[in-house]
Amino acid sequence: MRVLLSEIEISERVKALGHQLSEEYSGRPLTILGVLTGSIVLLADLIRATSVPLRVALIQAASYRGTETTPGRLTINQSLVPDLRGRDVVILDDIFDTGNTMVGLYEAVKDFQPASVRSAVLLWKTARTEVDLEPDYFGFQIPDEFVVGYGLDFNDDFRHLPYIGVMEDEDLKHATATPQDG
């Protein structure tokens, strides 16, 4: 697997994003809404890099299933979302690919009547964006390659990697052939 972004590069950028959020949301009621499951690693690191009081919330959204490397139909589970009324909300996701997931999340979050809604992602595949929406905050713009690590997975594997790696065809074949633990 080829390393696209090193652990150090990611760490430095996440700290910079935390600093930016701290400045922009100082004195405001901030909630960071992490998108399960891919944003968990980013969420943990980002809130530690943020110096303002904030709430953490979770929402579940999925468009990739199992061994798929292209997005399918979006499903959103809002049952974990607390009251966001009157709060500034930053939707935090691992990757902005086509943008359809973020558009769906914006619509779902607006129903909670927040004061504002913005988005933050670690990775943005600009070449694949299909929507008018762009992430308000992003870590890195990346090429159109299938990536794993730092929370991103392939068939629920590779989330543990401390870097972002590009899965080559041989990696995909091997990962698909390897039985997964239940």
pTM as predicted: 0.87
Tens of pLDDT along 53-69? 999 999 988 765 555 55
Amino acid at 134: E
Is 19 a residue whose pLDDT tops 80?
Answer: yes
Percent of the chain with pLDDT over 90: 73
Amino acid at 15: K
Contact 59, 39 (CB under 8 A): no
Tens of pLDDT along 121-179? 999 999 999 999 999 999 999 999 999 999 999 988 999 999 999 998 777 777 766 55
Q: What is the pLDDT of residue 80?
A: 78
170 domain residue, yes or no: no
Amino acid at 174: H
Q: What is the pLDDT of residue 71?
A: 53
Does residue 6 or residue 71 have the better pLDDT?
6
Q: What number is the average pLDDT over the span 70-88?
A: 78
12 domain residue, yes or no: yes
32 domain residue, yes or no: yes
78 domain residue, yes or no: yes
Tokens of 85: 């009324």
Tokens of 4: 């696209």
Return the H-helix or E-strand segment holding 134: none
181 domain residue, yes or no: no
d(CA 182, CA 128): 32
How many domains does the chain contain in total?
A: 1
Is 105 a residue whose pLDDT tops 60?
Answer: yes
DSSP state string for 155-182:
TTBSTT-SSEEEPPHHHHHHHHHSPPP-
Furthest C-alpha separation in the chain: 51
Q: What is the pLDDT of residue 120?
A: 98
Q: Which domain holds residue 125?
A: 2-144
pLDDT category of residue 181 using cuts at 50, 70 and 90: very low
pLDDT category of residue 6 using cuts at 50, 70 and 90: very high
The neighbouring-strand residues paired with 40 are none
169 domain residue, yes or no: no
CATH number for the domain that contains residue 83: 3.40.50.2020
Residues with catalytic roles: 97
The neighbouring-strand residues paired with 123 are 95, 140
Mean pLDDT, all residues of the chain? 89
Is 88 a residue whose pLDDT tops 70?
Answer: yes
Q: What number is the average pLDDT over the span 90-95?
A: 97
